[in-house]
């Protein structure tokens, strides 16, 4: 592409964003009404039929039986007949690119929103994300509400206790929402992180280092464990585990699993009050990687750069080369993880929807819906599965009075669907529009933005 063509494309892209922003601003002072809509409030398992939902200044002003006479005279009206209005969903294991890839970062944010994701938990932070968080909140950038960690705590970045203490204090002072743990921590550095985090009042979340172990992480108050990290290790019979390489999240230890230990680990997790972010779609695709044809046939893949898809395919070749990953081991690995998700949920542990995107095979937004479907496959009802993406993330962030349900006073993060998600969570594929803190993005607008993104990736 010529330099002049690049400039023109970028100018057109900026103009498109400005047009959307100006259109939103033009309606900012006017209320908006979803009329005669069926509301999936997520405050319980009911559907409230034929409701009017009035939005003003980015919040839900009124929710009640459809009443044309009570609708504001100057309101923008959205016909909700035979449609379902539910809260936006949360992706609790997201990755946002850094400042060296700003355009790609905005593309990722758009993909989340276009699939109904209105809140994300950013799991690998950068100081620029603090600025981005504010720009999203101010409406300067179209994107989900962002909770972000700082740079990772791991065996390389935290070589000693003094460094652990210093990093916790620095990240708390900088204003990050939580601390992200990666593998490689020693018991001493982990304990220093835990103690200092409690002292300053910032949660620590993420992986479980092998030296630390699941039980110790739970006892020290790790707020969330991602990927079910450490669970297969904790289920493995000691003598068997000593003779095998653990592999990716314990996949190599599958033949060593003692399923009778599951209730004990579930009870310990419940006592600790630790939340679980399974990223099941990531792990199932690791255990059983899609073929190149299957990957390329996915609708949302066209929105990503070709070089990224090629890297995923290279990674796939590595997955298939994992020593000892037999078909029966892959199936057993998937089954035990699904059982853990089901039994943790039944025990009252907070399961929070997280798919890990953009990550190998996971397109932002699309993989969150796939993750939701896997929770149902694991044995959760559609209602229980939807709670992992709506009310439970809001409760986790102590923001249940702001988002996660459809109720008067909540911020207007809403999805309009053509089918009832309480009957089938795949209704999220039938998205007719997204409201992002009061800004309405109908299907036609989402498609326009996605089409432009696909054209840019195809050049």
| 27 domain residue, yes or no | yes
- Is 240 found in the same domain as 180? yes
In this predicted structure, what is the pLDDT of residue 393? 98
What is the CA 145 to chain-centroid distance, rounded? 11
The answer to whether the beta carbons of residues 336 and 85 sit under 8 Å apart is no
pLDDT at 322: 55
Q: Does residue 143 sit within a domain?
A: yes
End-of-domain residue from the set 368, 396, 424: 396
Whether the CB-CB separation of 242 and 298 falls below 8 Å is answered with no
> What pLDDT is stored for residue 289 in this prediction?
86
| Number of separate domains in the chain | 2
Q: Are residues 376 and 450 in the same domain?
A: no
Q: State how far the Cα of 365 lies from the Cα of 246, in Å rounded to an integer.
A: 30
Q: Chain-centre distance of CA 115, in angstroms?
A: 11
Domain CATH number, residue 254: 3.20.20.140
**Do 64 and 212 have their domain in common?**
no
Furthest C-alpha separation in the chain: 74
- Full residue range of the structural domain in which residue 272 is found: 116-396
Distance CA 128, CA 109 (A): 15
Residues 333 and 375 in one domain: yes
In a domain, 402, yes or no: no
Query: Are residues 75 and 124 part of one domain?
Result: no
Please report, in angstroms and rounded to a whole number, the separation of the first and last CA atoms in the chain: 8
pTM of the full structure:
0.91
**165 and 54 within one domain:** no
Would residue 238 count as lying in a domain? yes
In a domain, 111, yes or no: no
Distances (CA, A) of 317 to 65, 246, 289, 310, 456: 56, 19, 9, 11, 28
Using the structure block, give the residue that is written with the tokens 């620095």. Answer: 170
* 347 shares a domain with 206: yes
Note the pLDDT of residue 14. 35
220 and 71 housed in the same domain: no
For residues 422 and 385, what is the distance between their CA atoms, to the nearest angstrom? 9
**388-403 burial by CB neighbour count: b if 16+ within 10 A, else e?**
bbbbbbbbbbebbebb
Q: Are residues 424 and 384 in the same domain?
A: no
The pLDDT score that the predictor gives to residue 263 is 97
Separation of CA 186 from chain center: 28
Note the Cα 12 to chain centre separation in Å: 30
pLDDT reported for residue 11: 34
pLDDT of residue 321: 62
Whether 418 and 372 share a structural domain: no
The enclosing domain of 35 has a CATH number of 2.30.40.10
User: What Rg do the C-alpha atoms of the chain give, in angstroms?
Assistant: 22
Distance CA 402, CA 410 (A): 5
Walk along the chain (459 residues) in steps of 10 and give the mean pLDDT of each run: 37 38 48 97 96 96 91 92 98 96 95 98 95 95 97 97 98 98 98 98 97 97 97 90 80 88 97 98 90 89 91 79 67 95 98 95 96 98 98 98 97 98 98 96 97 89
Same domain, 444 and 316: no
- In this structure, the chain runs to a length of 459
């Amino acid at each position: 592409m010529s330099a002049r063509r690049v400039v023109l494309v970028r100018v057109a892209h900026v103009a498109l964003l400005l047009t959307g922003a100006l259109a939103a601003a033009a309606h900012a002072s006017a209320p908006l009404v979803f009329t005669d809509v069926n509301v999936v409030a997520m405050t319980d398992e009911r559907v409230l039929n034929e409701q009017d939902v009035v939005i003003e200044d980015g919040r839900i002003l009124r929710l009640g039986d459809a009443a044309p006479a009570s609708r504001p005279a100057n309101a923008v009206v959205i016909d909700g007949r035979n449609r379902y209005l539910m809260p936006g969903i949360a992706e609790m294991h997201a990755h946002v690119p850094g400042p060296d890839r700003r355009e790609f970062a905005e593309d990722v944010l758009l993909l989340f929103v276009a699939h109904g994701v209105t809140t994300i938990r950013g799991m690998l932070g950068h100081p620029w994300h603090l600025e981005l968080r504010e720009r999203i909140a101010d409406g300067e950038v179209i994107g989900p509400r962002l909770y972000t960690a700082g740079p990772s705590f791991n065996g390389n970045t935290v070589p000693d206790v003094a460094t652990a203490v210093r990093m916790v204090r620095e990240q708390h002072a900088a204003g990050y929402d939580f601390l992200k743990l990666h593998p490689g921590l020693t018991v001493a550095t982990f304990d220093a992180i835990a103690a200092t985090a409690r002292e300053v009042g910032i949660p620590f979340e993420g992986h479980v280092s092998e030296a630390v172990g699941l039980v110790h992480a739970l006892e020290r108050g790790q707020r969330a464990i991602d990927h079910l990290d450490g669970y297969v290790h904790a289920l493995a019979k000691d003598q068997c585990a000593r003779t095998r390489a653990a592999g990716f999240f314990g996949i190599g230890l599958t033949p060593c699993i003692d399923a009778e230990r599951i209730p004990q680990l579930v009870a310990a997790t419940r006592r600790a009050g630790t939340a679980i972010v399974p990223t099941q779609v990531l792990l199932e695709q690791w255990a059983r990687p899609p073929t190149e044809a299957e990957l390329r046939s996915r609708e949302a893949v066209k929105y990503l750069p070709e070089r990224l898809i090629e890297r995923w395919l290279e990674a796939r070749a590595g997955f298939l080369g994992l020593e000892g990953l037999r078909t029966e081991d892959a199936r057993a690995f998937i089954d035990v993880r699904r059982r853990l998700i089901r039994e943790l949920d039944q025990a009252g542990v907070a399961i929070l929807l997280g798919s890990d995107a953009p990550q190998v095979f996971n397109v932002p937004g699309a993989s969150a819906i796939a993750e939701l479907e896997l929770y149902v496959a694991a044995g959760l009802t559609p209602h229980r599965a939807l709670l992992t993406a709506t009310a439970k993330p809001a409760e986790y962030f102590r923001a249940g009075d702001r988002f996660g349900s459809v109720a008067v006073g909540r911020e207007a993060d809403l999805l309009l669907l053509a089918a009832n998600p309480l009957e089938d969570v795949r209704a999220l594929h039938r998205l007719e529009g997204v409201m992002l803190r009061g800004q309405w993005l109908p299907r036609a607008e989402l498609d326009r933005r996605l089409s432009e993104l696909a054209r840019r990736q195809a050049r």
